[in-house]
Amino acid sequence: MAAVSVAAAIPKAVAGVFPSPSSENSKRSHFSSLQFPSELRTFRIRNQRLNSKLRHRTLTLVASKAHELSSDLDEILDNSEKPVLLDFYATWCGPCQFMARILDTVSSSMIDKIQVVKIDTEKYSSIADKYKIEALPTFILFKDGKQLDRFEGAMAADLLIQRIEASL
């Protein structure tokens, strides 16, 4: 397993923005004193195959036309045996990328309680418009086709689980 430090990814040009003594080593040491949350300090790169359970827990909607997708989504929301958590995201959204891993954790721990559906707002803007998505990530929880809860922004896995369970 290889690890890449976030601090190594900061360009030298950014180092000049912060006030510090004139030497280059001093500028770098200024960055080394920054404290990132533990989830952001290290990225792990893994070469592992996804198991088949993961594919069943998180659905990413794909269709040839937005109209077909909208009707498929309505069918999923109306006919799902479990409550459905819609995750509206975009590939360029930093908090959305942060939440992807957390959502996998939540999905696996609540596999018997909810079904997660991820919707890329860039590809399916008509669905984002239908649900009046104004911030990313946005989560909407449905049960029997009715909206139970709606919340926006990144949060820790335990808080997300508490929010979902409180709504059910």
Active site residue 93: yes
Which spans in the chain are helix H?
A: 12-15, 24-32, 38-41, 52-57, 66-79, 94-109, 125-130, 157-167
Q: What is the 3-state secondary structure (H, E, C) of 8-47?
A: HHCCHHHHCCCCCCCCHHHHHHHHHCCCCCHHHHEEEECC
- CA count, 13 A, side-chain hemisphere, 39: 11
151-158, long-range: CB < 8 A, 24+ apart: 153/95, 154/95, 154/98, 154/99, 154/102, 155/99, 155/102, 156/102, 157/102, 157/105, 157/106, 157/109
Active site residue 147: no
Which candidate in 93, 100, 148, 157 is catalytic? 93
3-state secondary structure of 168: coil
3-state secondary structure of 48: coil
Which candidate in 96, 110, 116, 127 is catalytic? 96
Active site residues: 93, 96
